[in-house]
Amino acid sequence: MQEFIDRLKAANDRIGPDERLVQSVLKAAEAPAPEDATAANARTPRFRAVSRRGFCAAAAAAALAAVGLGALHVAPALASTRLARPRIVLRDGYVDSVGFEDGRVVVGIRADFSCVDAADRDVAVSVPESGPLALEYEDGTGGDRLEFPAGGSMRGTILIGTDATDEERELLLDGDQPMQYRKLYECLVAADGAEIVVEAEGLRPTAYELRTSHIESWRHLRRKDTVGDFLYIDLVKS
């Protein structure tokens, strides 16, 4: 057994990030300073009910507003960051609206798109009249063309606590008010599988499916908060 542990340790010692990945993360620190990022995120609490039909709509809007989250927004502005795989980055995106419309939860996201591939090349987003959203290099060399990233997933983020004002954070972190988390959890669970319409400037609205089933319980939300972590909600292109 000890021999195996030694071999495992030797193999583990050879695991590590490559320098390009390290450099890409370091590049992110050259972009907005944390204070600026916070200021940028302060623009994100823009939840408003598009329409309030049905219990879920009222509950979702009320709970989100009540806990003062208002911070469902898309991937952070890291356009200069090399991503592990080609992926769309929504620069300066924020949720413009959330509500319930015709039996669907509708989240409007306003964002500027950008995309880089694994070789740091900028990739333009092109929107065909029909067919899947496709990407191609801006210089058009070689006619390279990337399909929308596998599964077409984009990622929304609910920032718990970190983006809230002091007053909101107090409300959120108050251990005597676990119902806040429960309400939020119920809303998120109710929204699982909902269709999300992403509206970006200059792009036609695109439908995504909201996946929240990975959120195990309201305690899960609370645990996220205790580590200052983000809770990720998957938006999968439907």
Partner 1 sequence: MAIEIDNAAFERCVREYGGAVYRVAWAYSLSRDASDDVFQETFMALWRSGKPFADEEHVRRWLLRVAAYKSKDSLRSASRRLRRDAPLDEAIEGSLAAPADPEADEEVWSLVAKLPEDMRAAVVMHYCEGYSTEEIADACGCAHATVRTRLLRARRKLEKMLGEVRPCRNSSTG
Count Cβ atoms below 10 Å from residue 18 Cβ, excluding itself: 8
Dist. CA 206–CA 105, nearest whole Å: 14
Question: Distance between CA atoms of 15 and 27, rounded to whole angstroms?
Answer: 22
* Shortest distance, position 51 Cβ to partner 1, whole Å: 31
Angle between helix axes 179-190 and 218-226 (nearest 10 degrees) is 120
Closest CB 221 distance from partner 1, rounded Å: 12
Q: Write down the least CB distance from residue 151 to partner 1, Å.
A: 5
Closest CA to 91 of 193, 202, 192, 191: 202
Q: State the nearest-atom distance from the C-beta of 59 to partner 1, in Å.
A: 25
Comparing CB distances to partner 1, the nearer of 46 and 237 is 237
Residue 38 CB, nearest distance to partner 1 (Å)? 6
How many angstroms separate the CA atoms of 209 and 196, rounded? Answer: 6
Nearer to partner 1, 25 or 189 (CB): 25
Written as six digits, the tokens of 102 are 């015709």
User: Which C-beta is closer to partner 1: that of 13 or that of 102?
Assistant: 13
* Closest CB to partner 1 among residues 33, 127: 33
Q: Which is nearer to partner 1, 57 or 184 (CB)?
A: 184
Chain residues binding partner 1 by CB under 8 A are 1, 4-5, 7-9, 11-18, 21-22, 24-26, 28-30, 33-35, 37-38, 76, 78, 81, 83-85, 150-151, 153, 162, 214, 223-224, 227-230, 232, 234
Per-residue b or e along 137-172, where b marks 16 or more CB atoms closer than 10 Å to that residue's CB: beeeeeeeebebbeebbbebbbbbbebbeeebbeeb
